[in-house]
Structure 1
Amino acid sequence: MPITSAEGRSADSAAAPASPEAAEPIMLELVDEDGRTIGTAEKVSAHLAPGRLHRAFSVFLFDEQGRLLLQRRALGKYHSPGVWSNTCCGHPYPGELPFVAAARRTAEELGLAPELLREAGTVRYNHPDPLSGLVEQEYNHLFVGTVRATPEPDPEEVEEYAYVTPAELEKLMSEVTFSAWFMTVLDTARPAVREVIGAGAGW
């Protein structure tokens, strides 16, 4: 199971001043228990205990060998830094379709355009993060797909990545920390995973 680190930025890019847009608060879409939009909230405030239920997405991409693409979140992330998780996850902008957000963030974080991407259901969960003290109260839209291109991750988002078989995933989970939501979203997505890549892959 080769693990590939993201390339560091150049000194010039690291020293570049933040744009005015970077200082603007990131807003999330608040939802009710049925996933209906009820308002918005600033990103970090929505994750402060006890958390506010908001819309999210999770992506699972597989290569031609049926291996799952994992990422280790960058050490500078405000939430769950340095832990392993699924291919990509995040939050749609208010009014943005979850499918569009999933494709957008996969490109932004990993430099990838999925060859195939399909909906895989939704799951609602409440997961406190023991490392940061933040809380994931999410109504999560799941997506499963396939990819052929080599990832070109943004080092501000992704520390490293790996493709794993089910057996390699089980071994890795016994050795390192995964995100609090990982198994919840993976277990919910499994039926769609088997439809996309076949039951013979072992997922």
Structure 2
Amino acid sequence: MPITPASGPSAETAAASPAPNGSTESIMLELVDEAGTTIGTAEKLAAHLAPGQLHRAFSVFLFDERGRLLLQRRALGKYHSPGVWSNTCCGHPYPGEPPFVAAARRTGEELGIAPALLGEAGTVRYNHPDPASGLVEQEYNHLFVGLLKETPRPDPQEIGETAFVTPDELAKLRAEGPFSAWFMTVLDAARPAIRELTGAAAGW
């Protein structure tokens, strides 16, 4: 299983980071109702404190020309779920930022790449506590799938490792080490779009 060392500039790693206007302040998230309608905002860390506040998020799944999924191992310095494997990229739109725009933005910030043929893959709502940190993922998650035609250039403050995996290699990796609490939920929800993108032969 090929592993790519992480490298690149720094980006968002905690609740306090540069905001869109360039100032350093607490990142704000969009709070939503069960239908995904925006009902307010909350500071990032506060939204994840138990029992959690339902907020908007996104998850990206990128595949290479062989139909392999690009995974990332979250950097050890992350305040939430450090050191675990997860999908290609995930995060939160800024208030008022379209989820598609946020997904493309964060993929560039974390991996130094622009996804090709990035498309919507539905939404999923979940409630996943993280046993290690005590934080809670109460999220209304927008899913996106696409192709990767560039070599990733991971930001080491965001990503510790990357790996391209087949379904069999993913199963083996999941048996060997921890994954993010939300990983299988978002992967399963995105499977119809993933199969349409990669084809039946890829096995997803």
TM-score for the superposition, normalised by structure 2: 0.93
Q: Report 1:5-84 matches (<5 A).
A: 5-7=5-7, 21=22, 23-84=24-85
Listed as ranges, the matches of 1:168-187 within 5 Å are: 168-187=169-188
Cα drift, residue 74 of structure 1: 0.6
Where in structure 1 are there 5+ consecutive unaligned residues? 11-17
Q: 1:145 to 1:9 in 2, by over 3 A?
A: closer
Q: 1:3: Cα distance to partner?
A: 1.2
1:133 maps onto 2:143 in alignment: no
Q: Which runs of 4+ in 1 moved over 6 A?
A: none
Overall identity of the aligned pairs, in %: 78
Per-residue CA shift, 1:84-142, capped at 9, x if unaligned? 00000000000000000000000000001011100000000000001111000000000
For residues 202 and 101 of structure 1, the distance between their equivalents in structure 2, rounded to whole angstroms, comes to 29
- Other structure's SS at 1:24 match: strand
Q: Distance in 1 between matches of 2:178 and 2:4?
A: 17
Equivalents in 2 of 1:23, 1:84: separation in Å?
Answer: 28
Output the CA distance in 1 between the equivalents of 2:30 and 2:100. Answer: 15
Structure index of larger Rg: 1
Residue aligned with 1:52, SS:
coil
Query: Are 2:10 and 1:3 equivalent residues in the alignment?
Result: no
TM-score, length-normalised on structure 1?
0.93
RMSD of the alignment, in Å? 1.6
Number of matched pairs: 196
Report the secondary structure of 1:106's partner residue.
helix
User: For 2:164 and 2:123, how far apart are their aligned partners in 1?
Assistant: 24
Q: Is the 8 A contact 2:33 2:54 kept in 1?
A: yes
